[in-house]
Chain A
């Protein structure tokens, strides 16, 4: 009886009801702020990553252009006319029939035609470089995470 009175008094205490309301409001506010904070943080991270990816893609394009240019510049420096002039400047002379001594080399079948194809690369090279995590929103991430969790535990949603 005494216990019931205490519980009733506690339940009916006006300050308790107010405290509950304040607590609930504060909880909602804190959760909201937490979500907003996480959202802002992730958005900022995603933006920074996106900008960085764009910069890297531009850098990749520039590097491809640079590589092609350097290969061509190298070819200019190794062109027949240029090499001829350089060889002459270094004191080399053109070989004639009488200058050459032929030595048989067993098993040597002569100079082979060039093979220029690049070596086989990583098979996953064709796969997308950007992971899905960089493209999905927070809600998509939460939804997908929850879905994966439920699925891994064998619960039907």
Chain B
């Protein structure tokens, strides 16, 4: 009996010791560094989700609040193979609705059964909401469908669709050259390309936020509200932009030009009201960029394409001469049809001699010889100081990506010759972009004050709207000189009964025809036809710059560009609600 008790006690003790050893081992294992590491790994992997919250890309509006760039809802469609119940239904529906390859979809749907694949696989992206509604309809049908007597139950189990935003341009090609585009197909590294989308990419994109969300529902973690990227309000007027694009396209067809550019600016503030260039491009289909813009062509010619502006440049030369006191409007000049500058002869556009002229006549008949004489009278130092002050050879600083500039050759430079003084005076041998030209000329329409051109009027950030104030670049000429030159240019248009004139409105302006330099010198058969003008002359509210590249119907700016100016002003006066001069003056007197 006592032996039996002893054995029992021994067995009991062994069990107790074994039990304690097991408990000790459990505690030891659970508290070992490896266990802590494993728990931490599992927590990170299965107990929490790391999400990068991308803010909604900021919108872009015109000056009246019309949406030019926004975001639209699209879907990513994927398959979670372990959740698939019926791979046939999935393959059949996805191939029918999304146009995917049946066998490929089926292979993915069966990949868990056949290969043990647990990975979620994206089968389609950027799918429209309409298509997803068809899938939702199918899903609803299967939910209420009766179980078939034979075969598997039809099911879309395992198919997931997740909504996300895609950049969208509701106006399609309107103002595309200003907006640029966003390469939305790259969902990880997408960014703005060209125009405003590139210039203000960081502002529009906002800041990504990374959050760690616990999968355990009791451990609630608030998903922070990520503020959207900043929105931009432009100086662009959608109505004016649409009208200018329409006129540019018509001018292109009428003149047979290779390209057309029309800029409209408020000279008082430097605000761009429209920047129309050809060819048209729809940023919603940005993948076609290469087809529309072959290698070497410019997305926005108004800021990127340099050209010799020709006679529109004479306005700047005359402004410099008047302001420096070299000439007055009545200074006489006898045009003999040729002038020697730096050992080379300069002729008029028609090789003719126009006889006695005053300075208005020189502008009216666009006499190269007269302007070359004025430049020599001024001297290179004065001439180039003014030209530089007008911003030639410098960036205008317009808030669009892709602005180009060509350095201005100055006396002392290797590529400057004395004849340049003569040729530069009428816009030859000097290269500029349309934005440089309109910015410089706008100073004459704005009492001699040159304003920085810009397309962003305000931006909205964190619920506040911040206005961008107009920036004065410099006072280039005196207000008196500016008024005198405006009058001279208005008179010159009226004297020649230019087709640029608009009934009821007094406008100032100048045509330009520039031969295009080629490998064998200037080719007179192909030209750049331009026109710069502003109005109303006594109180300018707009300045317009027109450039037609290589027109074929006529090489002359006075023939192809001047009527475009007239058409532009006729539209502008309606769109800007500018009453005719007589009505305006009458209203001012009341």
Contact = CB atoms under 8 A, between A and B. Distances in A.
Nearest to B225: A60
A53 B463 CA distance: 26
A113 B235 CA distance: 9
Nearest to B573: A97
Interface string B235-252: 000110010000000000
B222 A130 contact: yes
Given A50-B220, A69-B129, A114 B63 contact: yes
Contacts of A61: 223
Interface string B190-233: 00000000000000000000000000111110110100000101
Interface string A12-43: 00000000000000000000000000000001
A114 B219 contact: no
Given A68-B73, A100-B574, 5 more contacts: A47-B217, A51-B217, A100-B577, A116-B61, A116-B231
A140 B239 CA distance: 63
B73 A118 contact: no
A79 B587 contact: no
Interface in B36-77: 56, 59, 61, 63-67, 70-73
A50 B219 contact: yes
Interface stretch (A2-10, A70-78, A85-93, A146-154): A70-78
A117 B172 contact: no
A53 B222 CA distance: 8
Nearest to A114: B65
Contact of A72 (B70, B231, B239, B579): B70
A102 B70 contact: no
A104 B590 contact: yes
A68 B72 contact: yes
Interface in A94-144: 95-97, 100, 102, 104, 110-111, 113-118, 120-121, 128-130, 134-135
B457 A80 contact: no
A21 B204 CA distance: 74
A36 B239 CA distance: 70
B504 interface: yes
Q: Chain A interface secondary structure, helix, strand, loop or mixed?
A: helix
27 contacts: A43-B218, A47-B217, A50-B217, A50-B220, A51-B217, A54-B220, A65-B163, A66-B73, A68-B70, A68-B71, A68-B73, A72-B67, A75-B70, A75-B170, A75-B171, A80-B66, A81-B171, A81-B242, A96-B574, A97-B503, A100-B579, A110-B577, A114-B63, A114-B233, A116-B61, A116-B465, A118-B463
Contacts of B67: 71-72, 74-75
B465 A81 contact: no
B587 A72 contact: no
Nearest to B584: A102
B501 to A, nearest CB: 13
Contact of A135 (B66, B165, B220, B231): B220
Contacts of A60: 225
Contacts of A118: 463
A134 to B, nearest CB: 5
Interface string B14-31: 000000000000000000
Contacts of B238: 80
A84 B245 CA distance: 14
Contacts of A100: 574, 577, 579
A36 to B, nearest CB: 16
Centre residue among A69, A115, A134 by max chain B CB count within 10 A = A69
Contacts of A117: 460, 463-465
Contacts of A111: 64, 577
A84 B67 CA distance: 16
Interface residues of B, number: 51
Nearest to B235: A113
B463 A65 contact: no
Nearest to A52: B217
Given A72-B72, A116-B231, A79 B218 contact: no
Interface residues of A, number: 49
Contacts of B579: 100, 102
B580 A97 contact: yes
A117 to B, nearest CB: 4
Contacts of B580: 97
B220 A71 contact: no
A78 B73 CA distance: 18
Contact of A116 (B56, B164, B217, B460): B460
B473 interface: no
A114 B231 CA distance: 13
A64 B223 CA distance: 14
Given A68-B72, A71-B67, A72-B170, A49 B220 contact: yes
Contacts of B168: 72
B570 interface: yes
Contacts of A57: 222-223
B405 interface: no
Centre residue among A66, A76, A121, A135 by max chain B CB count within 10 A = A76
A61 B233 CA distance: 25
B239 A114 contact: no
A101 B189 CA distance: 53
B504 A69 contact: no
A79 B174 contact: yes
Nearest to B70: A72
B590 A53 contact: no
A116 B459 CA distance: 9
B458 A80 contact: no
Given A97-B570, A117-B463, A117-B465, A62 B163 contact: yes
A47 B73 contact: no
Nearest to A50: B217
Given A66-B73, A97-B570, A128-B222, A113 B217 contact: no
Given A72-B168, A96-B570, A129 B56 contact: no
A69 B132 CA distance: 15
A95 B590 CA distance: 26
Interface in B426-475: 457-458, 460, 463-465
A79 B63 contact: no
A93 to B, nearest CB: 12
B10 interface: no
Contacts of B573: 97
B463 A102 contact: no
A72 B220 contact: no
Contacts of B457: 113
B172 A71 contact: no
A71 B590 contact: no
Contact of A68 (B64, B165, B171): B165
